[in-house]
């Protein structure tokens, strides 16, 4: 039987402040967790918003978390009255406390919209967020919402909207703070805002109008499509969110629309409150077509939607989230933020750096703490072939995930991989091992003629696994109290065409492609990680 994880907050200590039960957290939030946390908040609102850390490191986070401000609405009165805790259970400080306990460095609070949610967020949720930041300064807490996408098929078309950290308005009032900016976006553009929402919000074009407006803001937010294929009617039978819409959204606002969720929330839907299997439970709560190893089919299918987008050269990233509304031990379908899925960014630990790393794509996602570091890089490689030295472009240039490497035609490129398997037990009190790592490559060609195209084999060679490394081939380079670090390399020879490289790994030795998840499946037994891509641009 699985170990039960209690839904109540744990008492533990961090260097920043002592974390205690929720009553003390709220008290601390009002008092400020001593002068240190008050000073930290003040420093973060100036200039760079926080003193930078000495060096970048992998920082774990979750951009899709619900609090008790994801409400239900009492429609018996006008205007409808919010019922706090109606659609999600826990306060902002409790979510932050548990996220920190499970190793997260940053989170985004993304409550649902509704008839008058914009005002609720501004007047009630945002003050609680500010208090939570003071109480728990060790975890960075972004302001955001789960945006209701306008269009002909509302309900189920959701996206994480992440506001840049701006707690203070510009002195002259020309630039609103993060809460005022979200209030303006939500009040005008959110699909469910209004009593009733205006008829213009039933038009798909209104989403494009919303994105265009966001992109022109002084501090544009970021947006990622949530659970994009959750309501798919079957394999490649997309509903609510389609490949065409993903293309349209990014083309309208490429600096705002940056990707989609890969590792979905609600992964504990297959567990009973005591941790035993729930035979009819569905991972991710995907009703008509399942996830694959806990990942949405748009991400998990080799040569599928994600690869189709990448094959156009799009900077389109995938992430992992909890979509936490309530813990499974309380009868809900979720893990705590960070307990199961994590999105890692390579950044200094400050708000602006994390926001920039999300936008740039130096990201990987993992479930079950299978790994906690993943470095992917590409570099021009000079090699001796038939006595001739092949030279690429700048041989000192190194491109990492989200970046581009420019090389000359005929160059060889060395792909270097480094990952760490953590020493600590994961959120399931297990220590899983990476059984295999796949190097995946695809060619970049012109944009698809059919904007609903969901496979890159139609107009470009099929994305394929270039190399599979099993556990016996991993080169161990260090082993300490933090974990075991492994290193691998792979060479691309005589490049003639633009392409991209990405990584995928799993604890499944013989499952060459992720299989469709079955009802009642134990999520801890089927773990995967994905890197975002490195792009290689070939010139003359």
User: What is the 8-class DSSP label of residue 187?
Assistant: H
Residue 133 has pLDDT above 50, yes or no: yes
Tell me: do 214 and 328 sit in the same domain.
yes
Burial 44-83 (b: 16+ CB within 10 A, else e): beeeebbeeeeeeebbbbbbbbbbbbbbbbeeeeeebebe
**Average pLDDT, stretch 138-144?**
98
Assigned domain for 3 exists = no
- Residues 38 and 322: their CA atoms lie apart, in Å, by 29
Q: What is the pLDDT of residue 54?
A: 56
The predicted pLDDT at position 458 comes to 55
Q: What are phi and psi of 412, to 5 degrees?
A: -105, 145
Residue 385, in any domain of the structure: yes
Confidence of residue 358 (pLDDT cuts 50, 70, 90): very high
Q: Is the pLDDT at 169 greater than 90, yes or no?
A: no
Spatial distance between the Cα atoms of 451 and 513, rounded to a whole number of angstroms: 26
- Mean pLDDT for the chain overall: 88
Kindly state whether residues 389 and 328 are assigned to the same domain.
no
377 shares a domain with 346: no
Reduce the DSSP state of residue 179 to 3 states and report it.
helix
- Pairing verdict, β 106-112 and 81-83: unpaired
- Round to the nearest angstrom and report the end-to-end CA distance of the chain: 61
pLDDT > 80? residue 160: yes
Is residue 172 one of the residues assigned to a domain?
A: yes
Task: Flag whether pLDDT at 122 surpasses 50.
Answer: yes
Band of residue 462 on the pLDDT scale cut at 50, 70, 90: confident
Q: Using CA atoms, how far apart are residues 513 and 301, in angstroms rounded to an integer?
A: 8
Residue 480's domain is classified under what CATH number?
2.60.40.10
- Residue 530 within any structural domain of the chain: yes
Of 319, 336, 318, nearest to 327 (Cα)? 336
Position 540 scores a pLDDT of: 78
Residue 145 bridge partners (DSSP): 111, 161
Q: For residue 180, what pLDDT is reported?
A: 94
359 & 387 share domain: no
24 and 164 co-located in one domain: yes
Structural domain range at position 121: 12-367
Residue-level pLDDT at 172:
58
**Does one domain contain both 401 and 356?**
no
Q: Residues 488, 305, 255, CA angle at the centre, nearest 5°? A: 85
Count of the separate structural domains present in the chain: 2
What whole-number distance in Å separates Cα of residue 469 and Cα of residue 437? 5
Domain stop point among 367, 382, 408:
367
* Residue where a domain terminates, one of 367, 400, 426: 367
* Final residue of a structural domain among 367, 399, 417: 367
Per-state percent for the chain, helix, strand, coil, to nearest 5: 25, 30, 45
Q: What is d(CA 377, CA 401) in angstroms, rounded to the nearest whole number?
A: 7
**Domain-located, residue 1:** no
User: Is residue 31 predicted with pLDDT exceeding 60?
Assistant: no
pLDDT at 470: 96
Does residue 302 share a domain with residue 388?
no
Considering the domain architecture, whether residues 394 and 357 belong to the same structural domain is answered as: no
406-423 pLDDT, tens digit per residue, is 999 999 999 999 999 999
Span 255-269, pLDDT tens digits:
999 999 999 999 999
Average pLDDT over residues 84-108: 98
Residue 49 has pLDDT above 80, yes or no: no
- Given a contact cutoff of 8 angstroms between Cβ atoms, the answer to whether 362 and 532 are in contact is yes
Residue 344 sits in a domain whose CATH number is 3.20.20.140
The answer on 385 and 333 residing in a single domain is no
Global confidence as pTM = 0.89
């Amino acid at each position: 039987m699985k170990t039960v994880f209690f839904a109540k907050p744990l008492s533990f200590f961090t260097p920043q402040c002592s974390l205690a039960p929720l009553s003390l957290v709220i008290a601390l939030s009002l008092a400020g967790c001593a002068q240190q946390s008050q000073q930290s908040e003040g420093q973060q609102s100036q200039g760079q918003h926080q003193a930078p850390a000495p060096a970048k490191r992998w920082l774990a986070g979750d951009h899709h978390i619900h609090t008790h401000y994801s409400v239900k609405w009492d429609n018996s009165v006008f205007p409808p009255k919010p019922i706090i805790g109606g659609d999600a259970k826990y306060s902002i400080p409790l979510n932050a406390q548990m996220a920190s306990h499970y190793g997260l460095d940053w989170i985004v609070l993304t409550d649902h919209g509704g008839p008058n949610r914009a005002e609720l967020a501004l007047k009630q949720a945002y003050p609680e967020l500010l208090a939570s930041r003071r109480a728990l300064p060790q975890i960075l807490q972004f302001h955001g919402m789960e945006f209701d996408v306008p269009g002909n098929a509302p309900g189920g078309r959701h996206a994480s909207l992440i506001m840049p950290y701006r707690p203070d308005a510009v002195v002259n009032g020309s630039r609103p703070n993060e809460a005022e900016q979200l209030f303006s976006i939500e009040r005008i553009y959110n699909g469910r805002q209004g009593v009733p929402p205006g008829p213009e919000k039933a038009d798909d074009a209104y989403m494009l109008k919303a994105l265009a407006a966001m992109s022109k803001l002084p501090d544009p937010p970021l947006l990622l499509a949530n659970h994009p294929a959750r309501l798919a009617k079957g394999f490649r039978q997309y509903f609510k969110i389609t490949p065409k819409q993903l293309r349209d959204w990014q083309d309208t606002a490429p600096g705002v629309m940056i990707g989609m969720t890969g590792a979905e929330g609600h992964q504990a839907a297959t567990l009973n409150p005591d941790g035993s299997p729930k035979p009819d439970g569905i991972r991710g709560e995907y009703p008509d077509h399942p996830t694959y190893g806990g990942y949405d089919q748009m991400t998990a299918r080799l040569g599928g939607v994600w690869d189709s987008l990448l094959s156009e050269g799009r900077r389109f990233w995938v992430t992992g989230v909890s979509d936490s509304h309530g813990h499974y031990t309380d009868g809900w379908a979720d893990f705590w933020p960070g307990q199961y899925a994590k999105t890692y960014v390579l950044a200094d630990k400050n708000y602006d750096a994390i926001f920039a790393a999300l936008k740039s794509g130096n990201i990987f996602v993992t479930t079950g703490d299978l790994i906690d570091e993943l470095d992917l890089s590409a570099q021009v490689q000079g090699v001796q072939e038939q006595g001739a030295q092949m030279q690429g472009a700048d041989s000192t240039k190194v491109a990492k995930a989200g970046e581009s490497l420019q090389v000359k035609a005929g160059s060889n490129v060395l792909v270097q991989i480094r990952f760490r398997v953590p020493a600590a037990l994961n959120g399931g009190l297990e220590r899983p091992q990476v059984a295999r790592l796949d190097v995946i490559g695809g060619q970049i060609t012109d944009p698809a003629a059919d904007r609903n195209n969901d496979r890159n084999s139609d107009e470009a060679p099929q994305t394929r696994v270039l190399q599979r490394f099993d556990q016996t081939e991993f080169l161990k380079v260090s082993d300490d109290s933090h974990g075991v670090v492994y290193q691998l390399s792979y060479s691309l020879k005589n490049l003639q065409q633009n392409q991209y490289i990405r990584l995928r790994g799993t604890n499944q030795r013989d499952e060459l492609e992720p299989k469709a998840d079955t009802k009642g499946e134990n999520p801890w037994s089927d773990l995967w990680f994905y890197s975002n891509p490195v792009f290689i641009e070939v010139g003359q």
